[in-house]
Chains A and B, each alone.
Chain A
Amino acid sequence: MDTRRGALAVPKVRRVGFFTSIEPPPDSQRPNRSQSGPVEATTSSSPLSNSPSGNLISPVLIPPSRHRSDNLTSRAAAPVPVPGPSAFRRHLAHDRSLHVGSYNPADSLLGTSPPSSIGEFSEDSVSLFGFQRSDSAKLSSSFPNGGFDLTLAVRAPQESESRIANSSASQGIKKNVEVSGKSETVTTQSKKEKESKSLKEKTSKAERRAIQEAQRAAKAAAKGEGSRRAEDSGRANPGKAAKQPQLKKEKLPVTSSVSEKKAAVEKERKMDVPQTQMQYDDKNRVEKAKKRAVVEQTESKNKVELFLHLPQYERGNQLLNLSSNIFTLDTIHHAVYKVGLLHLAGDISGDNARCIAMLQAFQEAIQDYTTPPKKDLTMDLTAKINGYVSFLIECRPLSMSMGNAIRFLKNQIRKLPGNLSESEAKASLCSEIGRFIGEKIVLADKVIVQHAVTKIRDGEVLLTYGYSCVVEMILLYAHEIGKKFRVVIVDSRPNLEGQKLLRRLVTRGLDCTYTHINGISYIMREATRVFLGASSIFSNGTLYSRVGTACVAMVANAFSVPVIVCCEAYKFHERVLLDSICSNELGDPDAIANIPSFRTNAKHSKTMENKKNLQYLNLMYDSTPSEYISMIVTDYGMIPPTSIPVIVREYRREHLLL
């Protein structure tokens, strides 16, 4: 049990490397556990949360390949980046000579700390730099009683120098303490020196508060040009606060130009780095996203720890009022809004259907679009589409194929020749979207059917799982051209998508067997081929599909039944997927909590709902390793899973340019 808990804690600790927040530790809802140390450390990533247990865990983690400034120290205090050990040591020379103003190149690393946090910090990067300038000795040198501070300034670096070898974490804390520049901290510091190391790291609540206050003060001081405001906030030490802005003023021109440059660089890098999924266990970003959100979703209560990074909401309660204000919204086109609601309600399922619905909504939106005066169509439309996309994401996380389609659309917008009139541009975009739907989805399906049918011989038993529209087309077409075969449909709760397929096949006169996934190992010995649909295929050949697919593929492999995956090439993704945890989707937990035929349903679920030690996990997708897949049928023919990267490489340009 303990080891499992430890394993569970890892992804959360990894989060520390990328994200931090100044928020206080989360509510006491989390049950007290023996190993709550790392959990606490991660969730309450206040600068002082660097408890020893957190440090203990870190060696296990994959170190994020970042700048050296992004070591534990700066990670721990990421909201207010502090120079790493090297930077700090370089500071010492300046500090001793009390030289203040020079630009230290080592500082340049600070701004580029975790890129994920750039978005939040870039706005007040000036203030950040100002703050860094007024680091340790510089700050203290501005104290009224300079003599005392000077000694401190000299002493403190020495101290930390000796400590660099010991623990970088404690150094980070130390520096933060120094930064606070308060007379109380001086006393605590001297106290600390006497104390043992482990004790040092445990800072009291008052200290933590002092530090936070100091940080806030510094930030405010940097932001506010007028000294009065700084005075207000820096009430604890008016002398310091009064002097700080002066310091800032000296450096402002330098830092601002530097930060501008840096912002440009960061922007460039941001363009290069593929957009990552939002991590929903990152409180800061979630808060930000909520402010922007159109759809107000209530988060469900008991989430499974391993999947905290995925969004999970309670379903169904907001649909009504959302659908009522469909006519009042002006930021989002009504067609897109409708599609979003359909996604939210789960009325559209299946990747192709979702993608087509989205593209058609975009088509409609583009047709109704008029460029506002003094704005560029390319820029404005891209921004509009971005807005739509984020709305759709709020409704339901996008699938990989939708991501690819959006990428295609944005590329088309970017590629629009400048000399086109607005109506022409709109028409060309709409026709491009239509072409994408026609060629990449509809025609691709037809080609796949043609290919796959050659693999069906008379007298075979084909097994399929869930519902995939391509597989349905294959089976119907094979029946149409007179092949004699039998179909086994394997299904699973809670969606029971297989029933839809079963109904359609039976009405067309196919021989069918229907079973649930529990019977897979029994029914597999009858099967001669397994046909599976796909949500996406990654470039290492990993199949990302409806949850349960991996199980079916593995059992088929154990029975040496060939597994054939049918997937349109526009669903291929150049990323690599190793597990089902990193990227997945959480469904409605109630769906698995409530069993439709269960008599005491309401009562039962109510009693279970309030249980704190019960977590429902309704995963939507899973990943099947490529070794369980015999063949992938795409619009480019039948290929082994090892050839996905070739298709992605050879046709990515075509994908984008079409």
Chain B
Amino acid sequence: MWRRSPSFILDRHSSSSPPMADTTRVPFQNPDSISAYYQARAAHHGVISIDWLAQAKAAVGDVSADEQLNSTVADLGTEKSFNVIEEFNNWRKQPDLAEAVAAIRALAAVIRASEATTMMELEIELKKASDTLKSWDKTSISLTAGCDLFIRYVTRTSALEYEDFNSAKSRLLERAEKFGEISCKARKIIAMLSQDFIFDGCTILVHGFSRVVLEILKTAAQNNKLFRVLCTEGRPDGTGVLLSNELSKLDIPVKLLLDSAVAYSMDEVDMVFAGADGVVESGGIINMMGTYQIALVAHSMNKPVYVAAESYKFARLYPLDQKDMAPALRPIEFGIKIPAKVEVERSARDYTPPQYLTLLFTDLGVLSPSVVSDELIQLYL
């Protein structure tokens, strides 16, 4: 019975055991210490800083290096893994497509290309592919969650339900296609659900650029709700600037704050909205650096903190404190030269414990943080 528990740790352990996986993985280890996830996000947001330009150059170089490596490996005969990451990066270039969906589409491509003749073979192949994907970017939670979710689905839809392997395969493909739609739909659902919480004359503090939060605000504006938005600046990516730009296009009154001015302006705020990189098992969230801080301030001033997150961001992780997760590093540009001996905190995200969150808006409904774990248990066990 315990075998059925897809305990992520055990999975990881078992995945590291086959030597094949090891040889394939090493070349695909993201060579830069910069989180690939954040590279992609920066690309989507199109915020170009000096730093970013340099970063982009480096990234391009990396990709070419990757491709070279890939081609060399491909010559060695491991085409599958090459396909996966390529495919994934292709999908990821679409700005509206979530990372998890891109991962699932990439895995679907694996199924399509697969020459497996039994379900077991296919499963093993998929597992390998997803492991490669996961290890390629360990910092992205939704990538990991998406892969896990799809693998879970595949193992659950055993061939027992279908007499013939091909029909099962096509069903899996169908499912993968559907995932993309679901992800788009999820944002709509969340936007609809959250409308009840936005009332006329309220002031909303938003941290970070989240597509879901943007969708919520957009829908609220379309419903002729009168509200004001305060955006944090969101250094160093300037995500807040981007969001305020989007909002002003929708004629929503918006005010830009320094990240350090949150406590100062908290008294005029009615609610805090945040997106999430990942929702962890405790019901807390992992999100852009600064969310924890804002949640703490809001909690101490008794303001509700609402998190908007699609259900595919639910991850089987359980950080106990801030340092208890793989750090996603990013470049930070201070404008002036920093002495070599000075250390810079480059972590891009933090963990907000569940007791500081009021509600989570997900496509499964409006949940309290403790329900997340229930959903996860039902999903994964």
Q: List residues of chain A with CB under 8 Å of any chain B CB.
A: 439, 443-444, 447, 450-451, 454-455, 457, 529, 562, 564, 630-631, 635-640, 642-643, 646-647, 650, 654, 658
Sample of 24 A–B contacts (CB below 8 Å): A439-B1, A450-B7, A450-B9, A450-B10, A455-B324, A457-B324, A630-B320, A631-B282, A635-B2, A636-B2, A636-B381, A637-B7, A637-B281, A638-B318, A640-B283, A640-B354, A640-B370, A642-B370, A642-B373, A643-B370, A643-B377, A646-B374, A646-B377, A658-B1
A636 to B2, CA, bound (A): 7
Of residues 1 to 59 in B, which have CB atoms within 8 Å of A's CB atoms? 1-2, 5, 7-10, 13
Query: Knowing A562-B320, A631-B320, A643-B373 touch, does A637 contact B5 (C-beta < 8 A)?
Result: yes
Q: Given the interface contacts A447-B7, A450-B9, A454-B9, does A640 sit within 8 Å of B282 by beta carbon?
A: yes
B102 to chain A: closest CB distance in Å? 27
Could you say which of B1, B378, B380 contacts A654, with CB atoms under 8 Å apart? Answer: B1
B75 close to A (CB within 8 Å): no
User: Which chain A residue lies CB-closest to B355?
Assistant: A627
Q: Are B9 and A451 in contact (CB under 8 A)?
A: yes
**Cβ contacts B311-333/A at 8 Å (1 or 0 each):** 00000101011011000000000
A-chain residues with CB within 8 Å of residue B320 when the two chains form the complex: 455, 529, 562, 564, 630-631
Alpha-carbon gap, A10 to B143, bound state (A): 57
- Give the Cβ gap from B326 to chain A, nearest Cβ, in Å: 12
Q: How far is the CB of B41 from chain A (nearest CB, A)?
A: 27
Contact A443 B377, beta carbon cutoff 8 Å: no
**Residue from B10, B321, B323, B377 having most chain A Cβ neighbours under 10 A:** B377
Q: How many A-B residue pairs have CB under 8 A?
A: 72
Cα distance A633–B266 in the bound complex, in angstroms: 37
Known interface pairs A638-B281, A643-B373; 12 further A-B residue pairs with C-beta atoms within 8 A, sorted by A's residue number: A443-B2, A450-B13, A630-B282, A630-B320, A631-B320, A635-B2, A636-B5, A638-B318, A639-B318, A640-B282, A643-B377, A654-B1
How many residues on B have C-beta within 8 angstroms of the other chain's C-beta atoms?
Answer: 25
List chain B residues, Cβ under 8 A from A640: 281-283, 318, 354, 370, 373
Q: Mark B211-254, 1 if CB is under 8 A from A, else 0.
A: 00000000000000000000000000000000000000000000
* A631 partner residues in chain B, CB cutoff 8 A: 282, 318, 320
Given the complex, which residues of A lie within 8 Å of B377, measured CB to CB? Answer: 636-637, 639, 643, 646-647, 650
Residues in B with CB closer than 8 Å to A562 are: 320-321
Complex Cα gap A227–B44 (Å): 100
Check B2 against A444 for contact (C-beta < 8 Å): yes
A635 to B377, CA, bound (A): 12
CB-defined contacts of A637 to chain B, threshold 8 Å: 5, 7-8, 281, 316, 377, 380-381
Chain A nearest CB from B148 CB (Å) reads 12
* B2 and A639 form a contact (CB under 8 A): no
Rounded to whole angstroms, the CA-CA distance of A529 and B370 in the bound complex is 22
B373 touches A646 (CB 8 A): yes
Taking CB atoms, residues of chain A closer than 8 Å to B2 are: 439, 443-444, 447, 635-636
Closest to B282 in A: A640
Chain B contacts for A635, CB-based, 8 A: 2, 5
Contacts of A643 in B (CB 8 A): 370, 373-374, 377
Q: How far is the CB of B181 from chain A (nearest CB, A)?
A: 29
- Chain B, residues 280-297, CB within 8 Å of chain A (1/0): the string is 011100000000000000
Q: How far is the CA of A635 from the CA of B3 in the complex (A)?
A: 10
Please give, as numbers and ranges, the residues of chain A lying within 8 Å of B373 by CB-CB distance.
Answer: 639-640, 642-643, 646
CA gap between A604 and B99 in the complex, in Å:
73
A650:B378 contact, CB within 8 angstroms: yes
